[in-house]
Amino acid sequence: MSFPPGSGFRIVRADAPIPDDLRGASLALGNFDGVHKGHQAVIAAARARGGLLAAAVFEPHPREVFQPAGPPFRLQSSGQRACALAGEGVHALVEIGFDRALSNLSPEAFCDHVLCARIAPRAVVVGFDFRFGKDRAGDVDFLAGHGARNGYDVVVVDAVDDAAHPGAKVSSTAIREALAAGDLEEAATLLGRPWAIEGVVTQGFQRGRTIEVPTANVPLGAYVRPRFGVYAVRVEIGDGAPRPGIANIGVKPTVAGDAAPLVEAHLFDFKGDLYDRKIEVELVAFLRDERKFPDFAALTAQIREDLATARRRLGA
């Protein structure tokens, strides 16, 4: 992903007062992991307030500070999130450095010292469930009261319904659950676009080359774990339109010695070196679960079948 041409999008840190021309912005405030349809509604409400449109996020995500040994959960890299926000028309991203010291600020202190003193927005727009401050004691009512006393408007946006499931709401949790089930259609519906994994291509064991199916390997890292298996994909390598391909996501149980989860993407009809390049793998269709084969010959036969299936699904 990349910033829209001519957008003038920029990223600033809130560790010190932000540039004067950003003060007085209409501010969408939250974690925005995924920039899904619920987040998009918050951004749209901030845009409706007029003036320069900014988004403020906590970086790193608070969950990474409080649960460093917890399971991976991110829906986007920080770079993907920034690009998605720019794509929604946000002019500037304000990153609020999150650590234990910030988490121990009272709601009043956070509003005084971070929102007012450093960012100074004209309006703050948040989702209905936004919480902040020590022990998450601050809520939307507290924020509205502080705004009324300190000269900025507060807008609270209701939950967005999941159109495909009456009574369900759009949320990052629902997207993670869809990905864990391999339900890419549901995840894409909630996100407003297909889910994608971005990363730098690393050196692998090059086993795919032995059967003329070379792969670009990207560690999953902090990404939430989707259902392990084989996917039809489109891969953006930074040279134009995404390329069709196939990817295995998982730990390659047939081959000993590969334990860390990887995305292994093969680009159809592509010849070139992708090592150390950043690519983005967009998941289009789930084809089958990852499984262990009795030998390499059986694995090779299944890969040939998977390649044909992926080409059909992608029209490639």
Which of the four pLDDT bands, split at 50, 70 and 90, describes residue 6? low
Q: Which CATH architecture has domain 10-157?
A: 3-Layer(aba) Sandwich (3.40)
pLDDT at residue 257 is higher than 60:
no
Query: How far apart (Å, rounded) are the C-alpha atoms in residues 210 and 67?
Result: 41
Q: Where are the domains positioned within the chain? A: 10-157, 194-314
| Amino acid present at 33 | D
pLDDT at residue 67 is higher than 60:
yes
Looking at residue 17, its pLDDT comes to: 82
% of the chain surpassing 70 pLDDT: 94
pLDDT in tens, 35-47: 999 999 999 999 9
- Kindly report the CATH number that applies to the domain delimited by 194-314: 2.40.30.30
Residue with the larger pLDDT of the pair 210 and 6 = 6
pLDDT in tens, 129-169: 999 999 999 999 999 999 999 999 999 999 999 988 888 99
